[in-house]
Amino acid sequence: MKYITLNNGLKMPMVGLGTWDLRGEKGKQSIINALKTGYRLIDTAQMYGNEDIVGQAIIESKIPREEIFITTKLNRSCAGYHEAKKGILRSLKNLQTNYIDLLLIHEPYPEALEMYKAMEEAYLLKKVRAIGISNFHNDNYENFISTCNIKPAVNQIESHVYYPQLSFKQKMDNDDIQMESWACFTEGRKDIFKEPILIKIGRKYHKSAAQVALAYLIQNGIIVIPKTSHLERMIENINIFDFNLSDEDMAQIKLLNLNHSLFNWYD
């Protein structure tokens, strides 16, 4: 596993497990399987309604808590200072942990700065090891980072080979904020697994199109959290650190960029 150092010195795994549609006993077992496979970053959110199974899976895995990096996100129900304070306590209880490694605001709500004040307090009290944002773009991003007291460590946004947002990545690099991808496989909006360019490049390294797609983001310094409940895909997705895409490969993949969101998130 490769790690990246956030702006407060905290090390974060570059590949994690996304859990947005994992539910119940089957979902819990998928998370346990991921942890046993070597995943150390688990990404959840209050919006997903599965913080409880994430917490229970970590306990049942018997892997020391300090080895696991948990990300969760506050949703609209936490929109406000007091609401966010309650939301943080709720997440800690659901996750059955004394601290959250990374806490994000899920979307740029009008009350985001009020929410963030509660997050900053939780950070200073060490209930949270890093704080950040998700889906903040353009004016939402600029206005937020120029106003908050503690600079966000991470901004989690849509990023995949068809819309990598590399120019925004450069902007965040300049601001010392780490970019993290959601929808690294497009969530079915495009059949990335059958993309000819990715398949062709993968053959050179005996890798799948999915592994090439992840490697492209990783080599651009972007954290990825591919979601799967299938053990074989978990193993495949994490085995991407034994090869490096060439400059020519990177240039070919860059041509896939459509320069627009597949989710209309930023319109």
Catalytic residues: 48
CB 125 within 8 A of CB 228: no
d(C-alpha 31, C-alpha 53), whole Å: 8
CB 98 within 8 A of CB 68: no
Q: Residue 235, SS3? A: helix
**Secondary structure letter of residue 62 according to DSSP:** T
Strands 69-74 and 41-43: parallel
- Amino acid at site 136: F
| Distance linking the first and last C-alpha atoms of the chain | 35
d(C-alpha 178, C-alpha 263), whole Å: 22
The overall longest dimension of the chain from CA atoms, in Å, is: 54
d(C-alpha 142, C-alpha 24), whole Å: 39
Q: Residue 49, SS3? A: coil
Q: What residues form DSSP beta bridges with 205?
A: none
Q: Which two tokens stand for residue 169?
A: 């990545």
